[in-house]
Amino acid sequence: MSRPYSSGQTGIAVLALIIALVALGISAYTYFQVTQRVDLQTQLTRMQDLVERGRQEIGDALRRLEEQVRGSQSKELSPRQ
C-alpha cells in the first residue's frame, strides 16, 4: 500500500509554503512603501500649493506697497514743480 504523502512531497509543500509567506511579506512591505510615497506626494502637493499662495500674497502686498510709495512720491513731487 502506498502512502498518500511521501516525505519528498511534504518537503516540497513546506518549501512552497515558505516561498508563499516570503512573497506575502514582500508584497506587504511594498504596499506600505507605496502608500507612504502617495502620502508624501500628497503632502508635497499641498506644500507646493501653500507656497504658491504665499508667493502670490507677498507679490500682491509688494505691489500695493509699491503703489503707496510711488503715490506718495508723486504727491511730494507735484507741489514742488
Q: pLDDT by residue for the chain (81 residues), tens digit each?
A: 455 556 678 889 999 999 999 999 999 999 998 888 888 888 889 999 999 999 999 999 999 999 888 887 776 666 555
Q: How far apart are CA 52 and CA 4, in angstroms?
A: 70
pTM of the predicted model, to two decimals? Answer: 0.48
3-state class (DSSP) for residue 22: helix
Q: Which amino acid, 55?
A: R
Whole-number CA gyration radius for the chain: 35
C-alpha cell at 78: 507735484
Assigned C-alpha cell, 33: 512603501
Helix (H, G, I), strand (E, B) or coil at 2: coil
DSSP conformation class of 15 = H
